[in-house]
Structure 1
Amino acid sequence: MPPSSVKPRRRRGEGQWALGYREPLNKNEENKKNDDGLNVRERIINIYAKGGFDSIDPSDLRGRFRWYGLYTQRAPGIDGGKTAILEPEELDDRYFMMRVRIDGAQLSVAQVRAIGEISRDHARNTADITDRQNIQYHWVEIEDVPAIWEKLESVGLSTTEACGDTPRGMLGCPLAGVAEDEVIDPTPQLRQIYEDHIGSPEFSNLPRKFKTSVSGCSVHCVNHEINDVAFVGVRNERGEVGYDLQVGGALSTNPMFSVRLGAFVSPERVSEVWAGVCSIFRDYGYRRLRSRARLKFLVKDWGAEKFRDVLEKEYLGYALPDGPAPVLDSGLRRDHVGVHRQRDGKYYVGFAPRVGRVSGTTLLRVAEIAEEHGSDRICTTPDQKLVILDVEEERIASITAALEAEDLQVNPSTFRRQTMACTGIEYCKLAIVETKQRASTLIDELEKRLPDFTEPLTINVNGCPNSCARVQVADIGFKGQLVVDERGEQVEGYQIHLGGGMGLDAAFGKKVRGLKTTAEEMPDYIERVLRRFQEQKQDGESFASWAARASDDDLK
């Protein structure tokens, strides 16, 4: 056939609504078109809670339930080798994980007490602090969900859009309004976004999840670089405080850092700008393939200039002023652990549970300790930690002793302070390996082997490739997979990422060819690498900087 007669191949659409692609292109999109996920609440209350697990429509069970923070948890006894082989119904248990959204981190004593009582009464005393500042229950039965909602809502909390293709829980600095070096208190802006948009049908059918951070924290504890939309506190050349707008950050299997749009957002415009960015994702986001349905792919294809242009012209109707970049630092610990002074002269006390795993009993005790020491504010952090605000100086010793008596360390080792873990195979249907208990045991082992190690060092343990525990931006990140041990047997193990981080030296951890470890050998590997780091590091050199220049042999 002559070249002139060859018709150009038509580019396949990405399923973008704004370009006319309205027909469902996959099962998830079809399910959302058939019925908005927000509508499942009434069915849960009036049908499923009364009829029990067997009365649940499968399209609700594995789809719309997520709009209210509910996933079936993994049935016990299914090994990681079957994760990607079995059908969803074969992995399902008859119990649920439930996620309570905590926008902006700060909770009252009454709210923490309610969360703890629900855990004790309805979730077999389980409660995990996630790295999105939420609380996650397990072993929840469908019959108990209405009572749980009623109790949460009585103290101003909910599970609405805690999961699903929705605007998930929004990150905020736990020290909002009290930090001495805070750029701006984002509390009013977080509250406005929540009141204006969360639970609205306008944003209840997004291509996939949508993650937000709004913070004026000087150490950037909310990790704005890996959020879909981030409002980062800045002061412009006229001395006005507001936010730098960034979009398109996310990790998972194709990690990307957020992109600055170069725009300055004044506090009173944050909610409408947030709605504009979310609307772009809703209308232009890629819906054809779930693997490309995150905002980061659109941002990568468009670039910052086009994204800002569409935001201003099609959605806002006005131009945003240019603004400065946030002030970043390297080497800071992006958390709020320890005892530190507030701007009002009181103190906050940050403390470390083991890899975010607490219990209802523990949370009830935390509420009691806070109340006994004159505080009504308890906060979750994006690093699976807790902070009590508003403690008088003369009560610091007492509250520290009370917390540490519960194994909640105020002055933890580096390993207790900076080790995180996702849910893992214990409950998660996507996981391949165990994480929580392994990471907890790892902390104890490293404290024994390296008692004098005090350098900042993040160790993140993830049960699958999806990076809920942020393995690509950890100093040492472990991504769960099955590996072959020295006996030739397939066992639980991890691919290793080294030298990741955020801030001035933002980088994704590098992977050394063939570098993996079995779960059993993990402590040996970390000890070996950290001893080499201590031997070879230059004055003031971080682990990430050393890992970037170290030979592959030194990293094995």
Structure 2
Amino acid sequence: MYRYDEFDAAFVAGRTAQFADQVKRRLTGELSEDQFRPLRLMNGLYLQLHAYMLRVAVPYGTLSSRQMRKLAHIARVYDRGYGHFTTRQNIQYNWPKLKDIPVILEELASVEMHAIQTSGNCIRNVTTDQFAGAAADEIIDPRPVAEILRQWSSLHPEFSYLPRKFKIAITGAPHDRAAIRFHDIGLQAAVNAAGEIGWEVWVGGGLGRTPMIAKLINSFVPNEHLLAYLESIMRVYNRYGRRDNKYKARIKILVHEEGLESIKGQVEAEFAEVRGGVLTLPSEEVDRISAYFAPPIFEPQALTQIDVAYESIVDPAYGRWLDNNINAHIQPGYVSVTISLKPVGGAPGDATDAQMEVVADLAEQFSFDELRVTHEQNLVLPHVALKDLRRVYDALVAAGLAEGNNNLITDMICCPGLDFCALANARSIPIAQEISKKFAEPERQKEIGELKIKISGCINACGHHHVGHIGILGVEKKGGELYQITLGGDATEQASVGKIIGPGFEAENVPGAIEKLVDFYISQRTSESETFIDAYRRVGEAPFKEALYGNA
């Protein structure tokens, strides 16, 4: 795991001191809210419906137990005893007092954390596959490159005031678990004919009011030239991205309006000028950063496989957890464990201070002092020996964190919605809670199988509804809340944007509408192994629409 160097420590300390002075001036009235707004946004501080919200960066979703304990401490002392983990692999605090923000930032700095560039028109937190460095299917661990991108993008003088916010995701595996095709820039590990590892570069993806799938701009960029190539893209965007209309300011609009070939030509022209210059990554620097992410020293394990079917008979709840919440590891005898933050009836992504402390303890004891935040609002222990799974599970049961529902219908993504967000048109959390209650029965969830529901409270799509197999979008209509349903979204390498299939539903009717869709899917699938998204693609939109609205 990366540790701050002298530059990191100095710039975080300097920014913390600077913002402390700005907060003081705001509290005394020397700064108005309009004057304070751009300053607070540069430090991850938002003003929501009821209070300020602080968004803390978790670079590429990786945390130590020490850092998680600090997040728990902040929740307990400065907030209301919980934090909300987000689709950017960050954490948000919904109730901090403005006077406490400088102290919170000092606390974060003491464990090498901050809130810089979690807001504003800059390059935001770089996200990755939550199983990076552990997954059995991985080509290369993407986190060293993600760290290099973090250092390159932090306080970059050219890219601190972009036309709009900018998001980068990276995966080192052929199966995309980081939704790279729905980012401004997406990177996926690739191998060329000579067996060298480099990066596919995708550009112009995004969600929001104009969802678009990214386009492949370069099928292979060597590691040493990656920064130069990305800087070339950023310069073209910074030069030509629209600043007159924030709804058309993202790079996806530029790529769409100018055309990929035109943008690619300009990027290649920039790249020709900077390639071989100061942005070339020396192998020794890559090796230095990579050393921080060296795999743990794994001990040979006598137990290298587990009989999930047998465990399911002995203890069905434990069996479900094993079946759904463990991921294959590159090291024999180990797995990665997903800790669900989606209890039945709970707010997706929330964790209490006590739960964070438990997760920190488990990471320290059973996962080489390392854990991850996923872009689907869960947590991961990346390196757990099979022999320790039962002890980990029992501790999670005691903490209320042992829901065995990863990738099932109750494992929903959900934005804070109108309960917190000043931009929202409708509530999201109550919808998620009611759906999870309707499908709470474990056998029902197992029957349905993999199904991703994603819920947003407004068109900004923080809940990623566009890429849900079933997406739910809250809208305002005649002063009330209405929910549109989309079908067919997919955030993986088979990327697709869901389509609205008909009129919206009142809040109380949404769970029933989801049940109609699920029942129809089960009636139409060719086998129990055919997933919802596969059945939808085979059957098509019209039969699902008829099933949902035909008897209305």
Q: What range describes the TM-score normalised by the shorter chain of this pair?
A: 0.7 to 0.9
Are 2:125 and 1:131 aligned? no
> Are the counterparts in 2 of residues 96 and 140 from structure 1 also a CA contact under 8 Å?
yes
Are 2:501 and 1:508 aligned? no
Question: 357, 360, 372: which is aligned to 1:379?
Answer: 372
What is residue 122 of structure 1 aligned with on the other side? 78
Q: 1:277 to 1:53 in 2, by over 3 A?
A: farther
Letter of the structure 2 residue corresponding to residue 183 of structure 1: I
Greater alpha carbon shift after TM alignment, 181-190 vs 369-378: 369-378
What is residue 340 of structure 1 aligned with on the other side? 327
Q: 1:455 to 1:532 in 2, by over 3 A?
A: same
Question: 435, 449, 474: which is aligned to 2:468?
Answer: 474
Are 2:35 and 1:46 aligned? no
Letter of the structure 2 residue corresponding to residue 201 of structure 1: P
Are 2:44 and 1:69 aligned? yes
What is residue 163 of structure 2 aligned with on the other side? 207
Q: Per-residue displacement from partner, 1:357-389 (whole Å, max 9, x unpaired)?
A: 112222122112222335301101111111012
Secondary structure (helix, strand or coil) at the match of 1:206 reads coil
**Deviation for aligned residue 1:140:** 1.3
Instruction: Give the number of the structure whose residues are more often helix, by fraction.
Output: 2
**Deviation for aligned residue 1:213:** 0.8
**Deviation for aligned residue 1:462:** 0.9
Are 2:268 and 1:312 aligned? yes
Secondary structure (helix, strand or coil) at the match of 1:433 reads coil
What is residue 150 of structure 1 aligned with on the other side? 106
> Are the counterparts in 2 of residues 100 and 134 from structure 1 also a CA contact under 8 Å?
yes
Secondary structure (helix, strand or coil) at the match of 1:550 reads helix
- TM-score between the two structures when normalised by the length of structure 2: 0.81
What is the CA–CA distance in structure 2 between the aligned matches of 1:62 and 1:441, rounded to whole Å? 36
Letter of the structure 2 residue corresponding to residue 49 of structure 1: K
Q: Per-residue displacement from partner, 1:141-195 (whole Å, max 9, x unpaired)?
A: 1211111111111211111110110101111122222222101111221111112
What is the aligned residue count? 479
**Deviation for aligned residue 1:47:** 4.1
Letter of the structure 2 residue corresponding to residue 476 of structure 1: I
- TM-score between the two structures when normalised by the length of structure 1: 0.81
Which runs of no fewer than 5 residues in structure 1 stay unpaired? 1-37, 76-94, 321-335, 485-489
What is the CA–CA distance in structure 2 between the aligned matches of 1:348 and 1:261, rounded to whole Å? 33
**Deviation for aligned residue 1:49:** 3.4
**Deviation for aligned residue 1:414:** 5.1
> Are the counterparts in 2 of residues 61 and 72 from structure 1 also a CA contact under 8 Å?
no
> Are the counterparts in 2 of residues 230 and 245 from structure 1 also a CA contact under 8 Å?
yes
Question: 392, 412, 423: which is aligned to 1:399?
Answer: 392
Q: 1:194 to 1:132 in 2, by over 3 A?
A: same
What is the CA–CA distance in structure 2 between the aligned matches of 1:223 and 1:509, rounded to whole Å? 14
> Are the counterparts in 2 of residues 184 and 242 from structure 1 also a CA contact under 8 Å?
no
> Are the counterparts in 2 of residues 45 and 146 from structure 1 also a CA contact under 8 Å?
yes
Question: 541, 552, 555: which is aligned to 2:545?
Answer: 552
Superposed, which structure 2 residues align to 1:139-538 within 5 Å?
139-317=95-273, 338-345=325-332, 346-354=334-342, 355-373=348-366, 375-409=368-402, 411-412=404-405, 415=408, 418-448=411-441, 450-483=444-477, 491-503=480-492, 505-513=494-502, 515-538=503-526
Quote the RMSD (CA, aligned, Å).
2.5
Secondary structure (helix, strand or coil) at the match of 2:475 reads strand
What is the CA–CA distance in structure 2 between the aligned matches of 1:62 and 1:99, rounded to whole Å? 15
**Deviation for aligned residue 1:547:** 4.8
Which runs of no fewer than 5 residues in structure 2 stay unpaired? 1-12, 277-322, 343-347
> Are the counterparts in 1 of residues 123 and 165 from structure 2 also a CA contact under 8 Å?
yes
Q: 1:509 to 1:416 in 2, by over 3 A?
A: closer
**Deviation for aligned residue 1:277:** 1.8
**Deviation for aligned residue 1:51:** 5.5
